[in-house]
Chains A and B, each alone.
Chain A
Amino acid sequence: MIERSPGGGAVREHLSRVRVVPPVQPRKLAKVPFVELADGRLQGVVSSGSDISRVYVSSIAAGTHAYNCSTNNNRPCGGLYGAPCKHLRALAAEAVLQYGPGRVARYLRADVPEGADLIDCLDGAHEPAPAAMVFSRFLRHLAYLEVPDTGVPIPELHWFPASGTVA
């Protein structure tokens, strides 16, 4: 409502409680527990379908669309035969659910015609990429769940009102 008031963007510049990061949509996390648009890549972690303690680290670079998939110990994924493997396909599909198709396509600088799957519209090749960094970002992500709760008030969170209710 505020954003639609007269002045639009100019008003936004004088607001303190404006939302900057678009909300992410809830999705099933079982297969792809971690997805992010960061460091110039769509990157994330895909749980192995066969071994419960193994995960794959998959990434697609913005611009070049170079892709990679390996285990977290840097062993290349056996499914990469000159085309994205099923882990990369799952990563792209879940990213679209989480961020919406527009935001993912813009980030990767990909042209995705209406109705097409993002992963089929990329023209990159397989290029090795560091899995360790993505995996450590995933562990850092998980570590938030271990931070204890607190009853001490955090007045700074008044700058971050919850929103996103569906009408």
Chain B
Amino acid sequence: MLAVQLAALLDGDPEGAGEALDLVTGFDDALVHGLARLAEERAEALAALAGAFADTPIGGRLAEAAAGVASGSITEDHLTALAGGRAALLGAVHDALLADLDAALGRERAPWSAGPEPEDDEGGPLGGVRSWLRELAITGWRGVDHDLVSAADQVVEALLAVPGRRRLAVLLDGLAAELRASCPIGTMEHLPVRRWADLWTRAVLLSHDAVPSGAPRPAETVSGRLLILGVDVHEHGTAVQFQVHAVLEPTGGGRPRLVRTGVTVAKVDTITGPAVWKLPHRHGALLTALADRRCLDVTDLPLLDSGDLLWDDDRALPGKPADPFTTARLHLAGALAPAVPPLDRVPVRVAEPVLVEDYRVTKDGSFDLGGGVLAVDTERLPACGPLTPKLVAGSTACVGLIRWDGGRWLLQPLAVQAKAKKETVEVATGDWALGPTDPKAVKAEARAGDPVAVLRERAGRLLRK
């Protein structure tokens, strides 16, 4: 990312984004206090949200939902309509942000084309999910107590047993854990209002009968060389996702493509830090490529319409050494970026790989490129890797993801180059994929023992009695 590209990106918010976000904020505020006690101004906020869609095909349903909820008729249909309206507004903001980012970077994005419908699967306990989400909306975040949070446990357990409902299960488990940790919420000073409304909205949409639950079917299968840019680690108490950003060079030539791939594993909160890398042990090729900075030769990997490769370690072999900075320099300018599926369009999903160099690190840790200052999100460096805020502050080049949150653009580092003793060193989030390499981290790990092994032993002895 060049100074002139950053300057273009920072040059004003997309038109209309502010107004759209104000409508979202009004709705989110209603969820804080609960729809059962809707004061006049919050009823107006719902009406305003509905009003924004007056000239669209969903305008009628939204108006009916806003009026219904204001008069105390809080039905699942009404909530689905309102959640749909909120998601559509944020979807529009997402599209505008991504268009601005693509324009600034000169990145070409493939047009959206839906892959084949997923297989139909058993439905899972969607009724239970919807009634829990309805209770949350009626009660409001301020009124949530231990009993209401605990009601989610059974639902999550049942969802986890249905493979096609993993997204919903992981989402609800994360939300429930936050509500539990925040109880009593009534006395909390600042609630994560936007965040919880985001999570609630997505859960309402994913629990709708129209959302297919089966395994996604690939749009095509691809073969070629996968050049890794970095790994973005997502984690809450009971799940961790290793999302790899890479450039795919198709076999036989053709335009390189930006893709994502990765693995999600279930865990518990006490499995944390570098120990989380023990969980995806089945995926040795992927872990080796990350730890040893090598490319992957892949054969017939399914590619989804979202630009995600469905990872299958049996169809991949670690290949030659491949450095993320070289990959970024060679390919980021010309690779074709994937379209984003409609349901996934929300600002938090914006995570575009970039290479940033020639910057000066400011006092607060931002990168000053001369033409503008890019904030760096050093609080999102995963504890399972060696990348620290100090290394980022001392870096001379960085491969990272451009994100957007709270009204501003941020850089989330995935790998940095830094000068140490006249040598250039590289540090990346995936360096410890096969275990820590830093003596201090090795020692800390030895001290903590192997939590995965201990819990597996306990599970083996106690679970099937």
Residues in chain A within 8 A of chain B (CB atoms): 1-3, 8-30, 33, 35, 38-40, 47, 52-53, 55, 98, 138-167
Contact = CB atoms under 8 A, between A and B. Distances in A.
B405 A17 contact: yes
B387 interface: yes
B39 interface: no
Given A145-B459, A160-B235, A2 B189 contact: no
A139 B461 CA distance: 11
Chain A CB within 10 Å, residue with most, of B171, B270, B344, B382: B270
A141 B271 CA distance: 12
A20 B461 contact: no
Nearest to A3: B379
A145 B451 CA distance: 11
Interface string B169-191: 01100100110111000000111
Interface in B200-245: 202, 206, 215-216, 232-241, 243
7 contacts: A17-B403, A33-B454, A140-B157, A143-B459, A144-B266, A160-B174, A161-B232
Contacts of B240: 162
A146 B236 contact: no
Interface stretch (B41-49, B67-75, B129-137, B274-282): B274-282
Contacts of B381: 163, 165
Contacts of A165: 381-383, 385, 387-389
Nearest to B456: A145
Contacts of B181: 20-22
A162 B351 CA distance: 14
A20 B178 contact: yes
Given A10-B190, A157-B243, 16 more contacts: A8-B190, A13-B194, A14-B406, A15-B192, A16-B347, A21-B181, A24-B269, A29-B270, A33-B455, A38-B180, A145-B459, A149-B279, A151-B310, A152-B166, A161-B232, A165-B382
Contacts of B280: 149
A136 B194 CA distance: 34
Contacts, number: 243
B377 interface: yes
Contact of B382 (A151, A154, A163): A163
B238 A2 contact: no
B95 interface: no
Interface in B269-299: 269-270, 272-273, 275, 279-280, 282-283
Contacts of B282: 149
Interface stretch (B58-66, B98-106, B255-263, B326-334): B255-263
A160 B267 CA distance: 14
A154 B167 contact: yes
A97 to B, nearest CB: 10
A159 B198 contact: yes
A142 B383 contact: no
A161 B231 CA distance: 12
Given A12-B190, A146-B463, A165-B388, A26 B273 contact: yes
Given A141-B268, A149-B265, A162 B459 contact: no
Nearest to B153: A140
A146 B25 CA distance: 40
Interface in B367-392: 375-385, 387-390
Contacts of A30: 449, 454
Contacts of A27: 270, 448
Contact of A24 (B167, B272, B403): B272
B265 A162 contact: no
B166 A142 contact: no
Contact of B272 (A15, A146, A164): A164
Nearest to A4: B364
Contacts of A2: 377, 379, 405-406
B454 A17 contact: no
A58 to B, nearest CB: 16
B25 A29 contact: no
Contact of A29 (B199, B202, B233, B454): B454
A27 B444 CA distance: 10
B1 interface: no
A161 B311 contact: no
B354 to A, nearest CB: 17
B96 interface: no
A16 B405 contact: yes
B348 interface: yes
A10 B261 CA distance: 35
Contacts of B451: 26, 29
Nearest to B164: A152
Contacts of A152: 166-167, 215-216, 264, 310
A13 B193 contact: yes
B312 interface: yes
A144 B238 contact: yes
